[in-house]
Amino acid sequence: MLQVATSLFLDRGFGRTTLDLVAQHAEVGKSSLYARYPSKGALFAAVVSRSIQTMFDHLTPVPQGLNLVQRLQAVGEALIEGMLHPRCVAFMRITAAEADNFPDLALTAYQVSFDGAVLYVLKGLGAANLAAAGPGLTALAQRFVEVAVQPLSFQAAFGVDAALLRQRASACVRDAIELLQEKIAMTDWGQART
């Protein structure tokens, strides 16, 4: 059901996708669909959450034996590559377009994506989990996502060519690392590593 809904939202957009159309294409009864997703907004929220989780599931783990700066470079490039996937860009656009109608959904989608990116950075830096990371490393991961990853993903959402953004990704991540040197120096990285 979610796969069919994902395809319909991507092909038709939010406005032209109906629950009846999803039920028809998924070959399920309307009552089954409505029991699980009582509104189009609820279905869209499930689709967006699933899409975000799929992106994070497909990110490659960071190789072992790298120092902190090398790990930041690797996670930054991997996150940017994931965010530039056509499905991710399409859902950023659809979610932004529907933000006035579904502000909670847009905010939730943003927060799930941001939190997932921060957690991926922390895991890439060797933190076993969010609690083990400590406040300094968590603050670094949050700021790193804001400075290194979000600008390129937002540019993609506004139509900048993904191939051009991929070419710039490595340099943008390096620039972000350079900008964050003070935070990097103040992290508790050694204690957070697994």
Predicted local distance difference test score (pLDDT) of residue 133: 75
Q: What domains does the chain contain, in order, with CATH numbers?
A: 1-38 (1.10.10.60), 52-192 (no CATH)
Provide the whole-model pTM.
0.85
CA distance 175 to 170: 9
Q: Which two three-digit tokens encode residue 91?
A: 């859902």
Does position 88 have pLDDT exceeding 50, yes or no? yes
- Dihedrals φ, ψ of 127, to 5°? -75, 130
Q: Which two three-digit tokens encode residue 142?
A: 């949050």
Does position 108 have pLDDT exceeding 50, yes or no? yes
Average pLDDT for the chain: 90
CA distance 45 to 189: 35
Q: Which two three-digit tokens encode residue 40?
A: 């189009």
pLDDT tens sequence across 119-160? 999 988 887 666 677 888 889 999 999 999 999 999 999 999
CA distance 137 to 175: 19
Identity of the highest mean pLDDT range in 53-67, 125-139, 169-183? 169-183
Predicted local distance difference test score (pLDDT) of residue 194: 43
Coarse DSSP helix, strand, coil percentages of the chain, rounded to the nearest 5 percent: 75, 0, 20
C-beta separation of 74 from 63 below 8 A: yes
C-beta separation of 127 from 133 below 8 A: yes
Tell me which residue has tokens 């038709």: 12
